[in-house]
């Protein structure tokens, strides 16, 4: 069991009768769901809010692991007011240029029991199979090839190329055909095996940005899913707190059975928090919107007019949706509606569970 401890971050200030009060999100890691969903149209202030929260987490010793699918976290895209502090804390990992440490083929120890090598192989195979929409037979062939690499992982330092080699050298024509299909992905040395005693998780208190933008769009999505899967497994086994940050999260799957769904619904048990950012709510299926509704904290910036209704439905009960939609419609840049069971206003000792309007604070007021 992870020992719980409290993290306190401020998303911004709340105004009441011309008086301003700082708001605080207080999470007991290991007990409370430290999952945050942030949405809003371009230029609404959502990126500033997400970066501000990441900075505050890191300053309290929690590593932030960020997936950058489309270079939205490159220096030129960081809010100018936040840029100096962000850049002083960031460590960038360009996966197109250099492989990252990975535990994808390392069986984990959960509750004192070591994972079976087939289960290790199946987890990795399942994500690749879904990304390529493989049939049951091809998925089984891929699982067997990965299991061979799991069993010989000490000689499989370059994970993807070693799996490709296993398929190419198979006596089965169907395995060699599968190798041709998966070559665009598996020819890349993206993940490298970690020797016993090491971990794929970067545990230094920094914002670790994993840049996937060098790869074709379809491959980026599979790599993002694999990073999330790797981090979730490692954090669960190590029982160590982390924050996972995904911008443009609408590009990934959040439905039942996906890694992101597990992070949202089960992350609390393993002290895994998340910051998920999206420009759109309608980009998600009803199943995915249900998952997002389970995040412990929601920050809704001004949405596109076509999404006012959908946003108000997630924030308010039926009798308050019309007024909530009007509030969303009138938000200015840097303002959002905040809904959380873990938000405190000023010196209040009890959380405010109402949906409130907040002005995002900049660095000078969050230090």
Strands across the sheet containing 356-360: 90-94, 207-211, 64-68, 242-246, 272-278, 35-39, 297-301, 335-340, 356-360, 5-16, 19-29, 343-345
Query: For position 137, what pLDDT does the model report?
Result: 98
Q: Is the pLDDT of residue 64 over 90?
A: yes
Could you tell me where in the chain the CATH 3.40.50.300 domains are found?
Answer: 5-100+199-365
Q: Is the pLDDT of residue 189 over 90?
A: yes
Q: Is the pLDDT of residue 99 over 90?
A: yes
Point out the least confidently predicted range of 74-78, 160-164, 221-225, 296-300: 74-78
Average pLDDT, the chain: 92
Query: For position 154, what pLDDT does the model report?
Result: 82
Average pLDDT over residues 66-94: 94
Q: At what angle do helices 308-315 and 321-330 cross, to 10 degrees?
A: 120
Average pLDDT over residues 62-83: 93
Q: Which of 18-22, 233-237, 339-343 has the highest mean pLDDT?
A: 339-343
What topology is assigned to 5-100+199-365 in CATH?
Answer: Rossmann fold (3.40.50)
Q: Is the pLDDT of residue 96 over 70?
A: yes
Q: Is the pLDDT of residue 366 over 70?
A: no
Instruction: Please give the Cα distance from 171 to 169 (Å, whole number).
Output: 7
Average pLDDT over residues 55-59: 96
Average pLDDT over residues 85-104: 95
Query: For position 153, what pLDDT does the model report?
Result: 85
Confidence of residue 367 (pLDDT cuts 50, 70, 90): very low
């Amino acid at each position: 069991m992870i020992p719980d401890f409290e993290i306190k971050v401020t998303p911004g200030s709340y105004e009441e009768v011309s008086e301003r009060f700082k708001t605080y999100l207080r999470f007991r890691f290991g007990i409370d769901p430290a999952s945050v969903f942030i949405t809003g149209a371009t230029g609404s202030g959502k990126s500033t809010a997400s970066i501000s929260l990441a900075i505050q987490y890191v300053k309290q010793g929690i590593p932030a692991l960020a997936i950058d699918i489309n270079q939205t976290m490159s220096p030129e895209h960081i809010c100018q007011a936040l840029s100096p502090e962000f850049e002083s804390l960031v460590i960038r990992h360009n996966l197109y240029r250099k492989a990252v440490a990975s535990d994808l083929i390392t069986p984990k120890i959960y509750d004192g029991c070591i994972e079976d090598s087939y289960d290790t192989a199946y987890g990795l195979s399942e994500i690749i199979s879904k990304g390529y929409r493989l049939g049951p037979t091809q998925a089984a062939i891929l699982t067997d090839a990965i299991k061979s690499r799991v069993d010989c992982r000490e000689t499989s330092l370059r994970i993807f190329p070693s799996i490709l080699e296993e398929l190419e050298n198979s006596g089965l024509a169907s395995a060699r055909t599968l190798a041709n299909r998966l070559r665009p992905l598996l020819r890349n040395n993206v993940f490298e095996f970690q020797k016993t005693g090491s971990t794929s998780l970067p545990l230094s208190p920094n914002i670790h940005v994993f840049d996937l933008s060098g790869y074709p769009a379809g491959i980026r999505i599979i790599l993002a899913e694999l990073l999330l899967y790797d981090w979730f497994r490692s954090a669960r086994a190590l029982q160590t707190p982390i924050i996972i940050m995904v911008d443009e999260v609408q590009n990934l799957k959040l439905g039942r059975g996906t890694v992101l769904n597990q992070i949202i619904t089960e992350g609390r048990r393993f002290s895994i928090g998340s910051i998920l950012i999206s420009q759109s709510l309608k980009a998600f299926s009803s199943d995915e919107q249900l998952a997002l509704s389970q995040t412990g904290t929601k920050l809704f910036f001004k949405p596109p007019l076509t999404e006012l209704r959908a946003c108000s439905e997630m924030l308010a009960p039926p009798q308050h949706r019309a007024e909530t939609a009007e509030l969303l419609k009138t938000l200015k840049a840097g303002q959002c509606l905040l809904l959380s069971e873990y938000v405190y206003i000023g010196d209040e000792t009890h959380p405010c569970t109402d949906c409130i309007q907040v002005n995002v604070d900049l660095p000078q007021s969050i230090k």
